[in-house]
Amino acid sequence: MSEIVSHHAHGISLQRINAMVLRYWYLLMSSWPRLLELIYWPALQIITWGFLQNYISQASGFFARAGGTLIGAVILWDILFRGQLGFSISFLEEMWARNLGNLMMSPLKPIEFLLSLMIMSLIRLAIGVIPMTLLALFFFGFNFYAIGLPLIAFFCNLIFTSWSVGVFASGLVLRNGLGAESIVWTLMFAVMPLACVYYPVEVLPAWLQYVAWALPPTYVFEGMRSLLIDHTLRADLMAWALVINAILFAASFAVFLALLQSAKRNGSLLAGGE
C-alpha cells in the first residue's frame, strides 16, 4: 500500500529552524532577568580585568607595551564561554520546560534543532559581548574591533569550539537527564587552563603543551598575543585551529547522535528529570 509522505519530511527545513529560533526569542523577550543576565556577567568581567590590566601596566613595562592583551583575552574567552553557554542554555530550557518530548515527536530533526541552538548562541552572544566591547573602549580605550580582519578568524574558531563543546554537553544531558546539568556550566572551565587564555603555551610543562596544542582555542589566544605584542598575524595558527575544529565539530555531532540513540534505548527522552 502506498502512503503519502509528510511534506518537508526529507532534508533540512529552514521553516522548522526558524520556528525554534522564534521559540527561544519569545522566551528571551518574555523575561527581563534572562536578558539582564546576558549582559551582567560579561560587563562585570571586563571592568574587573580591565582595571587589573591598568594596574599591572603601571607596574610592568612588558604589559605597558603589550597593551590590551589581558582585555583582549577576556573578551575572546567570553566569546568561547558565552558561545557554549548560549547554545547549552537554550537546550536546557527545553529540559526545564519538559518540552523535549513534544519536539522529538514533531518533524523537527536533530540537525535542525542543533542549528537553531547555534543561531541562538550567536544572538545571545551578541547581546552579551557587544556591550562588553563598548565598555572596554569607553573605560580602557581598548578597541576590540581594531584587531581587524584577524578578528573574523579568531571569532570563527572560538565559536566552532564553543558549539562542539555545547553539542557534546547537550548530548550528555539528553542521555543522563538534568542530573548532568552541572557539566554544561563547568565543562568549558576544564579547557581554560590548557587553552592558555592569559599566558603563553611555553609556560606549561613540555608534556602538557602537547595537550594544549590539541585544543583550537590555544591557537587563537596565541594568535591574539602574536598580533597584539609582535604585530604579526599567524595565519598558520588559524589554519591549524580550523582543521582541529572541523574534527571536533564532526566528533561532537557523532557523539550527540550516539547519546540520543542511547537515550532512546534507555527510555530517558520522556523522563528528562534527574
Partner 1 sequence: MRLLSQWLNDGHMQQRGTGQAQAPNQPPAADQGGSAAIEVVDLVKVYKTTRAVDDISFRIARGSITGLLGGNGAGKTTTIAMIMGLVLPTSGRVSVLGAKIPEQRYDVLGRMNFESPYVDMPMRLTVRQNLTIFGRLYAVKQLRERIDQLATDLDLTEFLDRSNGKLSAGQKTRVALAKALINEPDLLLLDEPTASLDPDTADWVRQHLETYRKTHNATILLASHNMLEVERLCDRVIIMKRGKIQDDDSPERIMARYNRDTLEEVFLDVARGRLREGAP
Residues that bind partner 1 (CB under 8 A): 1-13, 15-16, 18-20, 22-23, 26-27, 30-31, 93, 97-111, 250, 253-254, 257-258, 260-261, 264-267, 269-272
DSSP string, the chain: ---PPPTT-SS--HHHHHHHHHHHHHHHHT-HHHHHHHHHHHHHHHHHHHHHHHHHHHH-HHHHHSTTHHHHHHHHHHHHHHHHHHHHHHHHHHHHTT-HHHHHHSS--HHHHHHHHHHHHHHHHHHHHHHHHHHHHHHH---GGGG-THHHHHHHHHHHHHHHHHHHHHHHHHHHGGGGHHHHHHHHHHHTTTTTSSS-GGGS-HHHHHHHTTSHHHHHHHHHHHHHHH----HHHHHHHHHHHHHHHHHHHHHHHHHHHHHHHHT-TTT---
Beta carbon of residue 164, minimum distance to partner 1 (angstroms, whole number): 14
Beta carbon of residue 222, minimum distance to partner 1 (angstroms, whole number): 32
Q: Of 142 and 253, which CB lies nearer to partner 1 in the complex structure?
A: 253
Q: Of 31 and 143, which CB lies nearer to partner 1 in the complex structure?
A: 31
Q: Of 10 and 231, which CB lies nearer to partner 1 in the complex structure?
A: 10
* Residues in Cβ contact with 12 at an 8 Å cutoff, skipping those fewer than 6 apart: 109, 111, 112, 115
Q: Of 27 and 233, which CB lies nearer to partner 1 in the complex structure?
A: 27
Q: Of 45 and 116, which CB lies nearer to partner 1 in the complex structure?
A: 116
Beta carbon of residue 200, minimum distance to partner 1 (angstroms, whole number): 37
Beta carbon of residue 145, minimum distance to partner 1 (angstroms, whole number): 35
Q: Of 11 and 205, which CB lies nearer to partner 1 in the complex structure?
A: 11
Beta carbon of residue 93, minimum distance to partner 1 (angstroms, whole number): 8
Q: Of 52 and 254, which CB lies nearer to partner 1 in the complex structure?
A: 254
Beta carbon of residue 214, minimum distance to partner 1 (angstroms, whole number): 22
Q: Of 100 and 248, which CB lies nearer to partner 1 in the complex structure?
A: 100
Range 69-95 burial, b when 16+ CB lie within 10 A, else e: bbbbbbbbbbbbbbbbbbbbbbbbbbb
Beta carbon of residue 259, minimum distance to partner 1 (angstroms, whole number): 10
Beta carbon of residue 247, minimum distance to partner 1 (angstroms, whole number): 13
| Phi-psi group of 68: left, alpha or beta (phi > 0 → left; psi -120 to 50 → alpha; rest → beta) | left
Are 139 and 227 spatial neighbours (Cβ–Cβ below 8 Å)? no
